[in-house]
Amino acid sequence: MLARLGLQLRLLLVVLVCSLLIAGSIVWYSVINYQKTFYQAQQKKIESIIRTIDVQVNTLQDLKDGARFRDIFSYLMEYDNDLLQINLLAPINGNYYVLASNNSRKVGEKVWGGELEVLRTDKSILLERTPGKLLEIAAPIHVGSQPMAAMSFFLDISSQTQALQGQVTRMLLIGLVGTGVLMALLYLFLHRLLFKPLRELGVITTRLGQGDLSQRVDIKGDHELGQLARSFNLMADKLLQRYQHSILDGETGLPNYLFLKDRLEAEVSKGQGRPFALLCVDLGGCLAGFRGLNLDRGAKSIFGLLSREVRGKLADGDLCARYGGNQLMILARGLEVTEAVNLAEQIVAGIKGFCQNPGTADYEEGLPFCPG
C-alpha cells in the first residue's frame, strides 16, 4: 500500500506520524508530570499534618487516646473537603489495629496491608486505591525516635482527575491544531524546496526520453537539488551534442540520411492525406566547374556553400539533408506537384546565380554553370 503512494504523500505521512508521536509524547509527559506534582503536593501536605501530630505523641498511651484523635480528625475533615477518611493504626499485642477513625465502623479492624510498610521504611507511602478516584497516603508516627504507629489519609481525587482530563483534552486539541499548522507550513516549504523541483525534473526527464533534447531544468541555488540540476543540464548538453554529431553532416552542417529517413517515416505515418514533396538535388555537375582552383586559403568547401544556397530557398519547417556523396534531399510539407516544380526551379536558379558569382575571394567569378 505504501509503495503506491507518491514521494510527497510518503514524506508527509512520515512527518505526520513523527508529529503525532512528538505531540503524544509531550501530552503523556505533561500528564505524568502533572499527576506526579499533584501527588507530591498531597503527600507533603499529609506529612506536614503528621509532623504536627507527631510532636504531641510522647508515649504509646497517647496513641490510645481515641477522643483526642477524633477531635483532630474532625478538624482535618472540615479543613480539607477532599479528605474522605482518616485512620490511626497502632500496635496491640504484636498486631496493628485501627485505634481511631472518623468512620466508627473501621475502629478495631486489624490492619495488614500496605500501610504497615511505613513502619518498616519509616517513610510515608502513597497508594492509589482506585485509579483516578481514591488515593491513600500513609505516614509514620514516632514515639521517641522510633516509628510506632501510622496514620492513613484517604483522599477523593476525582475532581483533580477531571481537571487533568480536561487539561489533556485541551492539550490534545492544541497539539492537533499545531500539528495541522505545522503540516501546512511544512508542505509549503517542502513543495517549494523539494516537491516542485523534483516534479519539474521528472517532467524534463520524460521529455528528454521522448527525444526533446532542448529541455533544461531551471533550479537555482547551491543546495543539492541545484547541483543536481546543473549536472543534469550538463548531461543534456552532452547528449544534445552527441545527437547533433550523429545526425549532422560534418561538411555541410545539414542533417544526414538517417535523420531524413526518420523524418520521412514520421511524415508518412501522420500524413492523413496532407501532401508533401520530396526533391533530390545532385550537385556533382556544379562541383566539376570548381575543380582545379586554389582552395588553400581556409574557405568553406564549395559543396557546403552550394548546400547553404539550396537551404536558403526553403520555407520554415522544410528539411534539407545530405543524401549521398554530392546529393541533397529536400522534404517540403504541404506542396502540390506544381508548387514542388516551382521550388525546384527556384533552387536551380539559385545554384546558377551562385556559380556565376560565388561571393568569396577564394573562387573566381563567371565560372561555367553546370546545372544540377
- The total of other beta-carbon atoms located within 10 Å of residue 118's CB is 23
CATH 3.30.450.20 domain span(s) along the chain: 2-163
Burial of 340 (0-12, 13-18, 19+ CB in 10 A): middle
The span from the CA of 43 to the CA of 46, in Å, is: 5
Please give the CATH topology (third level) of the domain spanning 2-163: Beta-Lactamase (3.30.450)
What distance lies between CA 354 and its chain's CA centroid? 64
pLDDT tens digits, one per residue of 173-193: 887 787 788 878 877 887 777
The residue that leads in pLDDT, 332 or 27, is 332
The residue that leads in pLDDT, 87 or 304, is 87
Q: Judge contact between 155 and 135, C-beta under 8 A.
A: yes
CATH superfamily assigned to domain 257-356: Reverse transcriptase/Diguanylate cyclase domain (3.30.70.270)
Q: Kindly give the pairing relationship between strand 110-111 and strand 95-101.
A: antiparallel
pLDDT higher than threshold 50 for residue 365: no
pTM above 0.75, yes or no: no
- Number of C-alpha atoms within 13 angstroms, CB side, residue 127? 16
Q: Distance between terminal CA atoms of the chain?
A: 68
Give the pLDDT confidence score for residue 227 in this predicted structure: 77
CATH 3.30.70.270 domain span(s) along the chain: 257-356
Least confident span in 98-102, 280-284, 313-317, 367-371? 367-371
